[in-house]
Amino acid sequence: MRRREFVTLLGAAAAWPLAARAQQSARPVIGLLSFGSPDTIAQRVQAFRLGLKENGYVEGQNFAIEARWMGEHYDQMPAAAADLVSRQVTVIVTGGTPAGLAAKAATKTIPIVFVTGGDPIQLGLVASMNRPTENVTGVVSPLNDLVTKQLDLLHVMLPNAATIGLLLNPRNPQAQGQLQDVPPALQALGMKLAAVSASTASEIDAAFADMARQRVDALLLGADGFYTTRRDQIVGLAARFMIPTLYNQPEYVEAGGLVSYGTSNVDAWHQTGIYVAHILKGEKVADLPVMQTTKFEFVLNLKTAKALGIKISDNVLSLADQVIE
């Protein structure tokens, strides 16, 4: 083979992977950083994909997802966020406050769209709700603001309850805000607080045993991604110790929990998909104000209520969005 022909073939061979990489880089890549796994928040991820699809984006056709599912390992969030940044993803979507904070610390340029239940200003995610000044915006499910309504619901269902347990994850930045919101609402209802904490599976076991010793009449579960990954354990312990528990997500009730009341995480993730589509189309983060979900869900499990010896009034039943029998 002549030298000129060899050089030509070599150049053509090298051009193929370059062309392939150029074609691949033209397709936007969404970095997804979240607690849990695709199974634990499957409905939310499905809603996220639907928001994208409604705006012309179908995974595998005109965008790809590079996911980092962290389970319950909050301490690994910063490294995972840095990895997504190093891969130069087009936009980063974060599920939960720790993931949002990790992504913000990792990049000042790549657009970030968060989903959180805390106050994003207090948490340091954004400086303004109406007009983000950096590369961060998102969707808020304001769980802390629902405490009064949640406790009112517990009071209606359990009018004789005197002591309410509150289970929080101290490793979650939202925990302090939740702890501050509960006592005033309890005082207004004439009830006492028994706060406990847990950030591991074994600590959850210990927390329920502790609440049983304190003879709590009911439990309010704090909003936390780690708890979502342990929902079967938590629901099982609530049944074992006969502690009526109010959750913030319907997945717990579907798993056998008593009752949930809160904003719709599915709706929040759907809105997140829409926001990401806007960014992929060229809109700037500064033009996308932080949104708050306005859809609320009240789900009740009558089978669990019967097992706990709780009589649910017709009035409460009429208010429920979903009743599991």
Give the DSSP H or E segment for 253: helix 250-254
- Sign (positive or negative) of CA dihedral 45, 47, 52, 56: positive
Domain count, the chain: 2
Tell me the three state secondary structure of residue 30. strand
Long-range contacts, stretch 149-153, CB < 8 angstroms, 24+ apart: 149/261, 150/220, 150/246, 150/248, 150/261, 150/262, 151/182, 151/185, 151/186, 151/189, 151/191, 151/220, 152/189, 153/246, 153/259, 153/261, 153/298, 153/316
pLDDT single digits (tens) 219-242 = 999 988 889 989 999 999 999 999
Same structural domain, 56 and 69: yes
Parent domain of 88: 3-141+265-294
Claim to verify: residue 311 and residue 164 sit in the same structural domain: yes
Over residues 83-128, the pLDDT tens digits come to 999 999 999 999 999 999 999 999 999 999 999 988 899 889 999 9
pLDDT the model gives residue 5 = 40
Helix axis angle for 175-189 and 147-157, nearest 10°, is 40
Are residues 40 and 156 located together in one domain of the fold? no
Same domain, 169 and 212: yes
196 and 239 inside one domain: yes
pLDDT of the residue at 173: 83
Position 144 scores a pLDDT of 58
The CATH number of residue 257's host domain is 3.40.50.2300
How many helices and strands in the chain, by DSSP H and E? Answer: 13, 13
Note whether 7 and 136 are same-domain residues: yes
Q: What is the DSSP string of 106-122?
A: H-SSS-EEEEESS-TTT
Q: Give Cα 301 distance to the centre of its chain.
A: 22
Q: What is the pLDDT of residue 3?
A: 40
- Asked if residue 166 lies in contact with residue 143, where contact means CB atoms within 8 angstroms, the answer is no
Distance set, CA 296 to CA 39, 217, 289, 293 (Å):
23, 25, 21, 8
Based on the domain organization, do 310 and 182 belong to the same domain? yes
Ranges of the chain with pLDDT below 70: 1-25, 143-145
- Whole-structure pTM value: 0.82
Asked whether residue 282 falls in the same domain as residue 236, the answer is: no
CA–CA distances in Å: residue 144 to residues 29, 149, 177, 229 = 33, 10, 7, 20
- Please check whether residues 116 and 19 belong to one and the same domain: yes
Q: Are 55 and 277 in contact (CB under 8 A)?
A: yes
Model pLDDT, residue 143: 65
Mark whether 157 and 48 lie in a shared domain: no
Interatomic CA distance for residues 311 and 242, integer angstroms: 15
Same domain, 166 and 111: no
Contact call for residues 272 and 237 (beta carbons, < 8 A): no
Tell me how far apart the alpha carbons of residues 39 and 205 are, in angstroms, rounded to a whole number.
23
Same domain, 123 and 19: yes
